Amino acid sequence: MAIETTLESKGRTHYRYLVLLFIFIITAVNYADRVTLSIAGVAVSHDL
């Protein structure tokens, strides 16, 4: 009973927004990496 009242008094947390932000950042980095490799892929393949 005391635990429930303690959790209710703190209110909701914003972890879902932090997780959404983290997923967005990871997706943006992944997309940027793919675009960069598609542009520079030919030059990199010639060097290797």
User: For the segment 33-46, what is each residue's pLDDT rounded down to a tens digit?
Assistant: 999 999 988 888 88
Residue 13 Cα to chain centre, angstroms: 18
How far is it, in rounded angstroms, from Cα 37 to Cα 44? Answer: 9
Q: The domain containing residue 36 runs over which residues?
A: 15-47
Say yes or no to pLDDT of 13 above 70: yes
Q: What pLDDT is recorded for position 46? A: 86
Note whether residue 5 is domain-resident.
no
Tell me how many domains the chain contains.
1
Enter the DSSP assignment of 38: H
Note whether residue 4 is domain-resident.
no
DSSP string, the chain: -HHHHHHHHH----HHHHHHHHHHHHHHHHHHHHHHHHHHHHHHHHH-
- Placement of tokens 């943006």 in the chain: 28
Q: What pLDDT is recorded for position 2? A: 57
Note whether residue 42 is domain-resident.
yes
When comparing pLDDT for 11 and 24, which is higher?
Answer: 24
Say yes or no to pLDDT of 7 above 60: no
